[in-house]
Amino acid sequence: MTHVIGVDLGGTKTAAGVVSSSGEVLLSDTIPTLNRAGGEAILDATAALIAGLVERAADAGLTVSGVGVGSAGVIDAVTGSVVSATDAILGWAGTELAAGLSLRLSIPSSALRAVNDVHAHALGEAWLGAAAGSSSSLMVAFGTGVGGSFVLNGAPLLGHRFVGGHVGHFASPLAAFDGVPLPCVCGGSGHVEAIASGPAIHEAYLRFGGSSVLAADTRGVFALASGFAEKHDAGAAANSAASRTAASRAIELGASAAGQAVGGLINILDPETVVISGGLADAGELWLKPMEAALRQELLAPLAAVPVVPATLGNTAAIVGAAKLVLS
């Protein structure tokens, strides 16, 4: 039986697993991503992670025949190089990801594939997760950032320059305050990510008058809106009612912007199945209900019944999807 290693290389951690031809993750391990040490150091650490799994697989009588990598950044899927990346991983842009791992591991380049991590995530969900059995699926992930992928007949749509899937970076009419477009991390303004990401929800909460003492981050905003915020001193508690209102408004706004964006994408792509993923989706009905309501409001009539489902593979999705690159 063929076994390959799938790698999920993100800005804070790198996870990898030995994956069977049926998609079962048999062995796995995780290390911190050396996101301030530069590309070569990250390749060294990732190669060591993979080598450790190859050794463990051999001890279990399993032979590893290839490696698939889903990585943060814009990845040239032909050469396996990092075309561009944010400063979440310093020195990552320009790194020869596939060639570097191939050299360190003595694996032929033909047995090593790489794509962007969100594409790997979507491919995992399309193969064995929430969109299994669908001929086409749109996955959009809302968390620290906003990303997506359209998988058609088992292959993610990468785009001519491998930038396909950057769904956080088109205009949202809700990404403005007092008539001024909100700045986006990409350097533009008025984009979906500037209003619908996790950090954007916390920023909206503060703009609406919420107290940073009562909610220091996005998790705190959701806790406050849910009525589960930690108790603070009397002075801060006096602001709790206003802050709860600000929290609810911020979540509603971010969820509505998310749903509006996904609805527009559905109108363009007409996917068989839509998968919603990421940390905000994991927050539950407080975000999911207004998101889907806004999404449905955008849809053209023939698309009214399109299935919109939460991702199901969790942290293994990108590992499984990256492995599928090689298994295919």
Instruction: Give the residue-averaged pLDDT of 191-220.
Output: 97
83 and 145, same domain (yes or no): no
> What are 98-111's pLDDT values in tens digits?
999 999 999 998 99
* 304 and 180 within one domain: yes
Q: Is residue 244 located within the same domain as residue 149?
A: yes
User: Mind giving me the DSSP string for 6-37?
Assistant: EEEE-SSEEEEEEEETT--EEEEEEEE--TTS
Task: Region of 300 please: left (phi>0), alpha (psi -120 to 50) or beta.
Answer: beta
d(CA 176, CA 67): 43
Same domain, 145 and 228: yes
Going by pLDDT thresholds of 50, 70 and 90, the confidence category of residue 230 is low
Counting every residue written for the chain, the total comes to 328
Which residue is it, tokens 């399109």? 306
Give the Cα separation of 38 and 28 in Å (integer): 24
User: Based on the domain organization, do 101 and 245 belong to the same domain?
Assistant: no
Q: Are residues 283 and 179 located together in one domain of the fold?
A: yes
Higher pLDDT, 238 or 190: 190
**Domain containing 60: what range?**
3-129+314-327
Note whether 258 and 300 are same-domain residues.
Answer: yes
247-291 confidence digits (pLDDT tens): 999 999 999 999 999 999 999 999 999 999 999 999 999 999 999
One domain, residues 259 and 319? no
**pLDDT tens track for 159-188:** 999 999 999 999 999 999 999 999 999 999
Number of domains comprising the chain: 2
Q: What is the CATH number of the domain that holds 74?
A: 3.30.420.40
Question: Has residue 239 got a pLDDT over 90?
Answer: no
